[in-house]
């Protein structure tokens, strides 16, 4: 699931950190923002939109790892390595990047929480650096990254969808690809999430930790 549009690594939410967000794209109901990050040469990204679909449908889509490539442009494959509980897993993800840049992979701890009072569903994940996880030759492992998906119920059956990503790619990334990953990729991800979450497959899906 953590497919460069979803890599993460912090116990706090991104809203607890100070960012100076700059709007980079506002199109078709989707906003994409970028901010510098203190003590890092890499930037953070935030995207948001409002959709008319149940929160459950959105969660079902994001947790459908076998089909991550359908909604996350860079995701080549992803799967659960270890399921720790219904709401917590160790996930492997492989992100396909354009030649000549080497693909990135990550092992990440993914945690879902549900606020019983507000109905807000939050996914946090962080990329792990444990030596017990190994990767094959030819790819680069990402070990410093953090992300969130947040689904906030609104009036009239709408949901505010927000995503946040900060990732150190662990190696040089060309300027043209950086812009692609920071603006085009989150925008395209949101478009696909909006489209697929409204299909019958996900509207009828069951999520173990949601009513």
Q: Compute the half-sphere exposure of residue 209: CA atoms within 13 Å on the CB side of its CA.
A: 18
* The predicted structure's pLDDT at residue 16: 55
* The predicted structure's pLDDT at residue 2: 41
pLDDT in tens, 3-36: 433 333 333 455 456 799 999 999 999 999 999 9
DSSP the chain: ---SSS----SS-GGGS----EEEEEETTEEEEEE--TT-SS-EEEEEEEEES-HHHHHHHHT-GGGGGGTSTTEEEEEEEEEEETTEEEEEEEE---TTSPPEEEEEEEEEEE-TTT--EEEEEEE---TT----TT-EE--EEEEEEEEEE-GGGEEEEEEEEEEE-SS---HHHHHIIIIIHHHHHHHHHHHHHTSHHHHS---TT--
* The predicted structure's pLDDT at residue 13: 55
Average pLDDT in the 143-151 region? Answer: 96
Question: Looking at the predicted structure, is the pLDDT value of residue 191 above 90?
Answer: yes
* The predicted structure's pLDDT at residue 172: 82
pLDDT in tens, 27-75: 999 999 999 998 888 899 999 999 999 999 999 999 999 999 999 999 9
Domains of the chain in start order, with CATH, are 14-203 (3.30.530.20)
């Amino acid at each position: 699931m953590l497919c460069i549009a979803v890599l993460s690594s912090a116990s706090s939410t991104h809203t607890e950190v100070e960012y100076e967000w700059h709007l980079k794209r506002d199109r078709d109901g989707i906003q994409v923002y970028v901010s510098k990050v203190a003590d890092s040469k890499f930037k953070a990204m935030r995207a948001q939109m409002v959709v008319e679909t149940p929160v459950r449908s959105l969660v079902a889509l994001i947790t459908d790892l076998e089909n991550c490539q359908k909604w996350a442009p860079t995701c080549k494959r992803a799967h659960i390595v270890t399921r720790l509980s219904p709401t917590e897993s160790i996930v492997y993800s492989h992100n396909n990047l354009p030649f000549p840049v080497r693909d990135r992979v990550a092992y990440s701890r993914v945690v879902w929480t549900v606020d019983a009072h507000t109905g807000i569903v939050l996914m946090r994940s962080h990329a792990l650096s444990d030596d017990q996880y190994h990767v094959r030759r030819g790819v680069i492992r990402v070990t410093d990254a953090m992300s969130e998906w947040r689904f906030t119920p609104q009036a009239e059956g709408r949901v505010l969808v927000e995503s946040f990503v900060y990732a150190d790619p662990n190696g040089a990334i060309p300027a043209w690809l950086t812009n692609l990953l920071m603006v085009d990729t989150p925008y395209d991800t949101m478009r696909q999430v909006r489209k697929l979450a409204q299909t019958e497959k996900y509207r009828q899906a069951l999520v173990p930790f949601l009513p």
